[in-house]
Chain A
Amino acid sequence: MNKEEWITLLDEFKLEYKTNGVLSKESREKLDKYKAIAIEEGYITSKDLNDISKISSVVVNDKINNDKKPLQASFVNRGPRNFVDGEKAVDTKGTINRLFSYFKSEVKLLVFLFISIVLVVLCQVIVPRLQSNAIDYIDDRLFDKLPFALLLMILFFVILSIFNFVQGLLSAKLSQNIVLKMRNDLFKKIINLPISYFDSNSHGDIMSRMTNDVDNVSNTLAQSLGSLFSGVLMILGTVIMMVLTCAPLAALSCIIVILTVLVTKYLSKAMKKFFKRRQALLGRLNGSVEEMVVGHKSVAAFSKEDKVVAEFEEISCELTKAGIIAEILGGSMGPIMNCINNIGFVIIALFGGYFAYKGIISVGVISAFIIYAKQFSRPINEIAQLYGQLQTAIASSERIFAVMDEELEDNSGSIKLDNIEGLIEFKNVDFSYVVGHKVLHDFSLDIYSGHKVALVGATGSGKTTVVNLLMRFYNIQNGSILIDGKNIMDISLDNLRDNLGIVLQDTVLFNDTIRNNLKYANSNISDEEMYKASKECYCDTFIKQLKDGYDTVISEGGSNLSQGQRQLLAICRAFLADPKILILDEATSSVDTRTEKHIQDAMIKLMKNKTSLIIAHRLSTILDADLIVVMDNGRIVEMGNHEELIRKNGKYADLYSRQFAGEGI
Chain B
Amino acid sequence: MFKYVKRYWYYALLAPIFMLGEVIMDLLQPNLLARIIDDGVLGLNNSGVGDINVVINIGLLMIGTVIVGAVSGILSGVFAQLCSQKFANDLRVDSFKRVMNLSFEQTYEFSVGSLITRITNDITQIQNFLGLLIRGFVRTLALFIGGIIFMLMLDISFGLILFCSMPIVIVFIYLFLKKARPQYKKLQENLDKLNSIMQEDVSGARVIKAYVKEKDEVNKFNKASKNLSKIQFFVLKLFSYMNPISNLILNFTIVAVIYVGGINIKLNSGITTGDIMAAITYTSMILNALLRMANLFQVFSRAQVSVARINAVLNCLPVISDGDFCEDTKIKGKIELRNVSFAYPDSPSVNVLENLNLVINPGETIGILGSTGSGKSSLVNLLPRFYDCTKGEVLIDDVNVKEYKLDKLRSKISIALQKSELFSTTIFENITWGREDATLGDVRKAASIAQASDFIEAKKDGYFTMIAEKGMSLSGGQKQRINIARCILKEASIIIFDDSTSALDLKTESLLYKELKKNYSDTTKIIITQRIASIKDANRIVVLDKGVIVGIGTHDELLEKCVIYQEIYNSQLKGGVVHE
Closest Cβ of chain A to B43, distance in Å, is: 9
- Any A CB within 8 A of the CB of B559: no
Task: Tell me whether B208 and A191 are in contact (CB under 8 A).
Answer: yes
Mark B534-570 against chain A: 1 for CB-CB distance below 8 A, else 0.
Answer: 1111100000000000000000000000000001100
- Any B CB within 8 A of the CB of A8: no
Task: Tell me whether B428 and A338 are in contact (CB under 8 A).
Answer: no
**Other-chain residue from B76, B218, B509, B538 in contact with A191 (beta carbon distance below 8 A):** B218
Q: Is the interface of A mostly helix, strand, loop or mixed?
A: helix
Task: Tell me whether A594 and B568 are in contact (CB under 8 A).
Answer: yes
Task: Tell me whether A593 and B470 are in contact (CB under 8 A).
Answer: no
Closest to A344 in B: B66
- Any A CB within 8 A of the CB of B305: no
Task: Tell me whether A661 and B580 are in contact (CB under 8 A).
Answer: yes
CB neighbours (8 Å) of B332 from chain A are none
**Other-chain residue from A41, A161, A179, A357 in contact with B55 (beta carbon distance below 8 A):** A357
**Other-chain residue from B188, B202, B371, B421 in contact with A206 (beta carbon distance below 8 A):** B202
Task: Tell me whether A141 and B266 are in contact (CB under 8 A).
Answer: yes
Measured in the bound complex, the distance between the Cα atoms of B280 and A488 in whole Å is: 79
- Any A CB within 8 A of the CB of B240: yes
Task: Tell me whether B41 and A620 are in contact (CB under 8 A).
Answer: no
Task: Tell me whether A357 and B41 are in contact (CB under 8 A).
Answer: yes
- Any A CB within 8 A of the CB of B388: no
Given known A363-B41, A594-B567, contact A77–B120 (CB-CB < 8 A): yes
- Any A CB within 8 A of the CB of B138: no
CB neighbours (8 Å) of A313 from chain B are 93
Task: Tell me whether B73 and A138 are in contact (CB under 8 A).
Answer: no
8 contacts between A and B (CB under 8 A): A42-B443, A135-B273, A168-B240, A296-B102, A331-B74, A458-B508, A504-B207, A593-B571
- Any B CB within 8 A of the CB of A336: yes
Measured in the bound complex, the distance between the Cα atoms of B274 and A139 in whole Å is: 10
Task: Tell me whether A293 and B99 are in contact (CB under 8 A).
Answer: yes
- Any A CB within 8 A of the CB of B173: no
Given known A143-B266, A460-B475, A618-B531, contact A504–B580 (CB-CB < 8 A): no
- Any A CB within 8 A of the CB of B358: no
Closest Cβ of chain A to B472, distance in Å, is: 7
Measured in the bound complex, the distance between the Cα atoms of B200 and A44 in whole Å is: 43
Task: Tell me whether B236 and A160 are in contact (CB under 8 A).
Answer: no
Task: Tell me whether B438 and A135 are in contact (CB under 8 A).
Answer: no
Which stretch, A18-26, A302-310, A412-420, touches the partner chain B? A302-310
Closest to B514 in A: A663
Given known A309-B96, A520-B213, A655-B506, contact A338–B26 (CB-CB < 8 A): yes
- Any B CB within 8 A of the CB of A387: no
Closest Cβ of chain A to B275, distance in Å, is: 11
Q: Which of B240, B245, B276, B537 has the most CB of A within 10 A?
A: B240
- Any A CB within 8 A of the CB of B308: no
Task: Tell me whether A508 and B204 are in contact (CB under 8 A).
Answer: yes
Task: Tell me whether A354 and B200 are in contact (CB under 8 A).
Answer: no
Q: Which of B26, B119, B373, B417 has the most CB of A within 10 A?
A: B119
Closest to A206 in B: B202
Closest Cβ of chain B to A352, distance in Å, is: 8
Task: Tell me whether B115 and A459 are in contact (CB under 8 A).
Answer: no
- Any A CB within 8 A of the CB of B457: no
Closest Cβ of chain B to A17, distance in Å, is: 20
Task: Tell me whether B62 and A350 are in contact (CB under 8 A).
Answer: yes
Besides the known contacts A165-B244, A459-B505, 18 further A-B residue pairs in the complex with CB atoms under 8 A apart? A73-B195, A138-B261, A153-B255, A158-B248, A165-B241, A168-B243, A191-B218, A327-B77, A332-B73, A335-B76, A363-B41, A458-B508, A459-B475, A500-B210, A592-B370, A646-B579, A661-B533, A664-B536
Counting from the closest, the 8 A-B pairs by CB-CB distance are A335-B73, A168-B240, A42-B441, A339-B70, A172-B236, A350-B59, A662-B536, A592-B371
Closest Cβ of chain B to A641, distance in Å, is: 13
Mark B190-218 against chain A: 1 for CB-CB distance below 8 A, else 0.
Answer: 01100110111111111111111110011
Closest Cβ of chain B to A253, distance in Å, is: 15
**Other-chain residue from A211, A356, A658 in contact with B506 (beta carbon distance below 8 A):** A658
Closest Cβ of chain A to B540, distance in Å, is: 12
**Other-chain residue from B191, B437, B511, B576 in contact with A73 (beta carbon distance below 8 A):** B191
- Any A CB within 8 A of the CB of B524: no
- Which residues 495-539 of B sit at the A interface, judged by CB distance below 8 A? 502-511, 513-514, 516-517, 525, 527, 530-538
CB neighbours (8 Å) of A85 from chain B are none
Closest to A591 in B: B372
**Other-chain residue from B202, B259, B265, B373 in contact with A562 (beta carbon distance below 8 A):** B373
Measured in the bound complex, the distance between the Cα atoms of B545 and A595 in whole Å is: 13
- Any B CB within 8 A of the CB of A637: no
Closest to A461 in B: B505
Closest to B34 in A: A349
Task: Tell me whether B233 and A320 are in contact (CB under 8 A).
Answer: no
- Which residues 556-574 of A sit at the B interface, judged by CB distance below 8 A? 556, 559, 562-565
Given known A298-B417, A665-B516, contact A290–B116 (CB-CB < 8 A): yes
Closest Cβ of chain B to A177, distance in Å, is: 8
Measured in the bound complex, the distance between the Cα atoms of B117 and A665 in whole Å is: 44
- Which residues 83-133 of B sit at the A interface, judged by CB distance below 8 A? 85-86, 88-89, 92-93, 96-97, 99-102, 104, 107-108, 112-113, 115-117, 119-121, 124, 131
Given known A154-B252, A202-B472, A335-B77, contact A303–B410 (CB-CB < 8 A): yes
Measured in the bound complex, the distance between the Cα atoms of B270 and A199 in whole Å is: 81
Task: Tell me whether A664 and B244 are in contact (CB under 8 A).
Answer: no
Task: Tell me whether B229 and A179 are in contact (CB under 8 A).
Answer: yes
- Any B CB within 8 A of the CB of A46: yes
Closest to A173 in B: B233
Closest Cβ of chain B to A577, distance in Å, is: 7
Closest Cβ of chain A to B304, distance in Å, is: 18
- Any A CB within 8 A of the CB of B141: no
Task: Tell me whether B82 and A289 are in contact (CB under 8 A).
Answer: no
Task: Tell me whether A363 and B37 are in contact (CB under 8 A).
Answer: yes
Task: Tell me whether A301 and B417 are in contact (CB under 8 A).
Answer: yes
Task: Tell me whether A301 and B370 are in contact (CB under 8 A).
Answer: no
Task: Tell me whether B62 and A349 are in contact (CB under 8 A).
Answer: yes
Task: Tell me whether A659 and B533 are in contact (CB under 8 A).
Answer: yes
Closest Cβ of chain B to A214, distance in Å, is: 10
- Which residues 477-536 of A sit at the B interface, judged by CB distance below 8 A? 493-494, 497-498, 500-502, 504, 508, 510-511, 520-521
CB neighbours (8 Å) of A327 from chain B are 77, 81, 85, 131
Given known A146-B259, A349-B33, contact A164–B571 (CB-CB < 8 A): no
- Any B CB within 8 A of the CB of A287: yes
CB neighbours (8 Å) of A460 from chain B are 475
- Which residues 318-369 of A sit at the B interface, judged by CB distance below 8 A? 319-320, 323-324, 327-328, 331-332, 334-336, 338-339, 342-343, 345-346, 349-350, 353-354, 356-357, 363, 366-367
**Other-chain residue from B66, B195, B259 in contact with A339 (beta carbon distance below 8 A):** B66
Measured in the bound complex, the distance between the Cα atoms of B510 and A349 in whole Å is: 90
- Any B CB within 8 A of the CB of A421: no
Given known A74-B117, A327-B85, contact A334–B77 (CB-CB < 8 A): yes
Closest Cβ of chain B to A99, distance in Å, is: 18
- Any B CB within 8 A of the CB of A404: no
CB neighbours (8 Å) of A316 from chain B are 89, 92-93, 96
Task: Tell me whether B55 and A76 are in contact (CB under 8 A).
Answer: no
Task: Tell me whether A664 and B502 are in contact (CB under 8 A).
Answer: no
Which stretch, B144-152, B219-227, B294-302, touches the partner chain A? B219-227
Task: Tell me whether A367 and B277 are in contact (CB under 8 A).
Answer: yes
Given known A138-B258, A161-B248, contact A665–B580 (CB-CB < 8 A): no
- Any B CB within 8 A of the CB of A232: no
- Which residues 23-45 of A sit at the B interface, judged by CB distance below 8 A? 38-39, 41-45
Task: Tell me whether A345 and B538 are in contact (CB under 8 A).
Answer: no
Task: Tell me whether A138 and B262 are in contact (CB under 8 A).
Answer: yes
Closest Cβ of chain B to A231, distance in Å, is: 16
- Which residues 75-113 of A sit at the B interface, judged by CB distance below 8 A? 75-77
Which stretch, A182-190, A375-383, A388-396, touches the partner chain B? A182-190
Measured in the bound complex, the distance between the Cα atoms of B211 and A502 in whole Å is: 8
**Other-chain residue from B40, B93, B372, B469 in contact with A309 (beta carbon distance below 8 A):** B93
Task: Tell me whether B36 and A350 are in contact (CB under 8 A).
Answer: yes
Mark B55-77 against chain A: 1 for CB-CB distance below 8 A, else 0.
Answer: 11011001101110110111011
